[in-house]
Structure 1
Amino acid sequence: MAIAVVGSIHADFYVKTKRFPQPDETVIGSDFAIFPGGKGANQAVGCARLGVETYMIGAIGNDYIGSLLVENLARNGVRVDYVYKASCNSGVAFIILNEETGENMIIVSPGADNALTPEYVENSLRQLSNKVKIVLTQLETPLETVYRSIEVAKKMNMITILNPAPARELDNSIYKFIDVIVPNRVELQQLTGVEVNSIESVFKAGEKLLDHGVKAVVATLGSKGAAITTPWLRAIVKAFPVQVVDTTGAGDAFMAGLAVALLQNMDIVEAVKFANATAALKITRMGAQSMPTRSEVENLISKYDGRLLVELVKQ
């Protein structure tokens, strides 16, 4: 079985700097580079690099950048049969990377992402109904498209995973169609209204999403790992210690690892551990799509197995 990723396809324009500029300030940067990106495309490449058949459902513009983006997806093993060319520019992101800390600032211009319609996604998923088990989506395309993809996928008995990034307010009616939602701390707070400033508050916010109908909440906590909230489990899965080079795409790597692990029937704790390892390897490399292979992830898990503990908070 396969994974379908519904989402954005961008080109990322990078520049490094020793510190971020203040408003109205110009700083001197270095090492300009262009990398393929977009949360949808990043996650699709991540899934494909982990050895799973992956379909990208998205849109590019009718420009040179769009052609390069599709070629890159295909080169990384992603099926691009359901990527279409819209009559506009391709999506782009401008990324300032702080070379001292590895942190980043990002501005996104969606372009063709806004042309991805609910009807196109629904038709694509129906054509893939005999192949796809998991549908993975984010919030860089129109909300009505996101909603339709989740609803249609759930009605076709697919597993639905939502990465609610960048954070946007969601209609409460959509939660009942979501099997796993994966917010970071900021997104979790914005979705629930709960001030997220401790592990206890992470679980409290997760419980609020469960009350709305979500089956499981996996909150990413950066260097602290990830928190799992389900009706029967509260757990922290610790992160793998690595040298940070570029955090861009870390969340997308996590999403890819989680989706692949769930596709292969790992339980939620083992799936999150696999996702943590995938994200850890990504942040040791430049570029949002510098995703690891399955063997690299398994080797990292094996290296630390027995030393990284899963903390069961409450059952």
Structure 2
Amino acid sequence: MPTAALNPPVSENSFADMTELDLREAFDTTDYVAEDDIVTTVLLALRLERPLLIEGEPGAGKTELAKALANGFDTELVRLQCYEGLTAENALYEWNYTKQLLAVQADEHGVTGDNSVFTEEYLLERPLMRALSDGEDRPPVLLIDEIDRADEEFEALLLEVLSDFQVSIPELGTIKADRPPVVVITSNRTRGLSDALKRRCLYLHVEPPTFEKELDIVERKVPELDGAMAAELCAITQRLREEPFRKHPGVAETLDWARAVAELRTEDETESLSPEEIEHTIGCLLKEVEDVERVDESLLETLVESARAARVETEMETD
């Protein structure tokens, strides 16, 4: 079977000489807070041209990491959102049957020979092929999001793409990328992934953020909120994660809440959060009715205490 190259040859991989400093600067430009283990694992994935499999709780920042890489390196983000029933036609490619039919009816092309309608002209690229055929200066970031939502059969479909960065098209041949995309695969661990898929990837498990990391994220992403208030919000979120909720708030929910509080408060409002403010805005953090109903008067009082303790400590450090 012939091999078709979608991109012109390049002399070297754009990330072959990537340094830790380069990667940290890329994260800093996008305000992505990355610990040493994240930086090291991502750096190895870039240098070794290996897919990166990231697992962790929803809202831990898995998808945000891929976005940070694309923005930090000023390259395209190609996203494939996985779901049950995802097929090759949705992920790889499909033929433009309408265009093919019109060409055959107009007697411009046939189904065989030099004027076949089975050429790249009639091919509709889906995310995986789009990532292989990208012609920009730097390889794109291919985000395969929530792979655990897709069927096991789809994992098998990915193996050729992740092993050799190529796609076999029966009517056309083997399409191979000259420059492998940066592949980030995320999973919420709703089901186990195959050993074959794991072997092809470097692995990173992302834990829920510590108070210090979450505070750093909020201060970077919501700069209009003063440090003491940001500390209160993070302390409350951390405390809520200790409760037996159906769904704990992630970093995304903390940021939503921070932006909501900043929007509702005026610049001269600097006092601590009241129980009423927490209760009225708790929908930014908790998304299950059973969880919201658990926030009773006793828990509200505990949340207020956690918030004020964090404020005092932050103000003492500032002084």
Shorter-chain TM-score range: under 0.3
Q: Normalising by the residue count of structure 2, what TM-score does the alignment of the two structures yield?
A: 0.23
Larger C-alpha radius of gyration, 1 or 2? 2
Q: Normalising by the residue count of structure 1, what TM-score does the alignment of the two structures yield?
A: 0.24
Which is richer in strand?
1
Q: Quick one: higher RCO (CA 8 Å, sep 6+), 1 or 2?
A: 2
